[in-house]
Amino acid sequence: MSETVSERAATEPAPGEAILEVRDLVKHFPVRVGVLFKHVIGQVRAVDGVSFELRRGETLGVVGESGCGKSTLAQVLMRLEPPTSGTALYKGRDMFAMRGAELRKLRRSIQIVLQDPYTSLNPRMTVGDIVGEPFDIHPEVAPKGERRAKVRELLDVVGLNPEHINRYPHQFSGGQRQRIGIARALALRPEIIICDEPVSALDVSIQAQVMNLLGDLQSEFGLSYVFIAHDLSVVRHLSDRVAVMYLGKIVEIGTEDEIYSHPTHPYTQALLSAVPVADPTVRGQRQVIRLEGDVPSPVDPPSGCRFRTRCWKAQDVCAEEVPELVTRVAGHPSACHFAEERSVVP
Partner 1 sequence: MAVQSMSGTGDLGEGTGVVPDAPLLEVEDLFVEFHTRDGVAKVLNGVSYHVDAGETLAVLGESGSGKSVTAQAIMGILDVPPAVVRSGAIRFRGEDLLKVSDGRRTELRGQGLAMVFQDALSALNPVFTVGFQIEEQLRVRLGMSRKDARKRAVELLDLVRIPNAARRVRQYPHEFSGGMRQRAMIAMSLALDPELLIADEPTTALDVTVQAQIMDLLKELQVERKMGLILITHDLGVVAEVADRIAVMYAGKIVEHADAVSLYRNPGHPYTAALLESLPRLDLKGTELKTIRGLPPSLLAIPPGCPFHPRCPMAEDRCRTEVPGDHRLGLGRTSKCHFAEELVGRV
Interface residue list for Mg ion (CB under 5 A): 71
CA distances for 162 relative to 4, 151, 179, 208, 244, angstroms: 21, 8, 12, 22, 39
Residue 275 sits in the site that holds partner 1 (CB under 8 A): yes
Residue 276 sits in the site that holds partner 1 (CB under 8 A): yes
Give the one entry of ligand SF4, partner 1, Mg ion, none that residue 318 binds, where binding means its C-beta sits below a cut-off of 5 to 8 angstroms depending on kind: ligand SF4
User: In the bound complex, what is the minimum distance in angstroms from residue 198's beta carbon to partner 1?
Assistant: 13
Residue 293 sits in the site that holds partner 1 (CB under 8 A): yes
**333-334 and 326-327 as β-strands: parallel, antiparallel, unpaired?**
antiparallel
Look at the chain and count its residues.
Answer: 346
Q: Judged by CB, which is closer to partner 1: 26, or 274?
A: 274
Give the one entry of ligand ATP, ligand SF4, partner 1, none that residue 69 binds, where binding means its C-beta sits below a cut-off of 5 to 8 angstroms depending on kind: ligand ATP
Q: Which amino acid is at 147?
A: R
Give the one entry of partner 1, Mg ion, ligand ATP, none that residue 98 binds, where binding means its C-beta sits below a cut-off of 5 to 8 angstroms depending on kind: none
Site string for partner 1, 114-143 (x = CB under 8 A): ------------------------------
Distance CA 221, CA 224 (A): 9
Residue 74 sits in the site that holds partner 1 (CB under 8 A): no
Distance CA 39, CA 136 (A): 40
What DSSP string runs through 60-95?
EEEE--TTSSHHHHHHHHTTSS--SEEEEEETTEEG
Q: How many residues bind ligand ATP (CB under 6 A)?
A: 13
Residue 320 sits in the site that holds partner 1 (CB under 8 A): no
Q: Contact with partner 1 (CB under 8 A): which of 75, 207, 268, 269?
A: 207
Q: How many residues bind partner 1 (CB under 8 A)?
A: 45
Give the one entry of ligand ATP, Mg ion, partner 1, none that residue 339 binds, where binding means its C-beta sits below a cut-off of 5 to 8 angstroms depending on kind: none
Q: Judged by CB, which is closer to ligand SF4: 226, or 336?
A: 336
Q: Contact with partner 1 (CB under 8 A): which of 230, 262, 313, 328?
A: 230
Give the one entry of partner 1, ligand ATP, Mg ion, none that residue 26 binds, where binding means its C-beta sits below a cut-off of 5 to 8 angstroms depending on kind: none
Tell me if 171 sits within 8 A of 97, measured CB to CB: no
Give the one entry of ligand SF4, Mg ion, partner 1, none that residue 337 binds, where binding means its C-beta sits below a cut-off of 5 to 8 angstroms depending on kind: ligand SF4
Give the one entry of ligand ATP, ligand SF4, partner 1, none that residue 205 binds, where binding means its C-beta sits below a cut-off of 5 to 8 angstroms depending on kind: partner 1
Task: Give SS3 for 194.
Answer: strand
Q: Contact with ligand ATP (CB under 6 A): which of 20, 54, 60, 68?
A: 68
Distance CA 293, CA 288 (A): 16
From the centroid of its chain, how far is CA 297? 22
Distance CA 336, CA 249 (A): 12
Distance CA 287, CA 185 (A): 41
Q: Contact with ligand ATP (CB under 6 A): which of 104, 107, 167, 230?
A: 230
User: In the bound complex, what is the minimum distance in angstroms from residue 28's beta carbon to ligand ATP?
Assistant: 9
Q: Would you call 89 exposed, middle or buried from its count of C-beta atoms within 10 A (0-12, 13-18, 19+)?
A: middle
Q: Contact with partner 1 (CB under 8 A): which of 256, 262, 299, 313?
A: 256
Q: In what order do the strands lie in the sheet with 39-55?
A: 39-55, 18-33, 85-90, 93-94
CA distances for 149 relative to 1, 16, 63, 145, angstroms: 12, 33, 38, 8
Interacting residues with partner 1 (CB under 8 A): 65-66, 173, 175-176, 203-209, 211-212, 215, 230-234, 236-237, 256-257, 260, 270-272, 274-281, 283, 288, 290-291, 293-295, 345-346
